[in-house]
Structure 1
Amino acid sequence: MPDFMDAVQDRVLAETEAAVAAQTQRAQGRTHCAAHDCGEPISPERTALGAQFCMDCQRGEEAREVHFRTWGRR
């Protein structure tokens, strides 16, 4: 009869496998842009590198990150 620790170890193993699978899928990238209202195709080269956004949306994300990063400085 499995005890409590066996059940805990099984759950940790299952969660770890799920996290690895999710990261593997995310690292492969997407075929179409992840932006809410875009959906443009992403080139296979960028998909292989793990791209999540088309070029236009990626530029916008980077610009937004720079903008908000400057607001946090004092």
Structure 2
Amino acid sequence: MGYGWVWSFWSIGALVSFLIGYYLYIWNPIIGWRWALGLGAIPALITVVLRLACPSLRDGESPYRVLRMLLQRQRDFL
């Protein structure tokens, strides 16, 4: 199965973010861009917090090493 659904989510997300940004601009052109920038920063902050919460990344391990370890565990499990 392909990953076409991922591209459709990207497209839908871009459309929704454009509509929200346009609405904020129409609502108040002076501060609307600040609200749009702030709303866009929320998912980025959540991602940073979740990545810092990963125990293996706190110990200074490489994310690629962790990925290889998880894939090896999956192979051993199967």
TM-score class normalised by the smaller sequence: 0.3 to 0.5
Q: Which has the higher relative contact order, 1 or 2, with Cα contacts under 8 A spaced 6 or more apart? A: 1
TM-score, normalised via structure 1 length:
0.36
Q: Higher helix fraction: Structure 1 or Structure 2?
A: 2
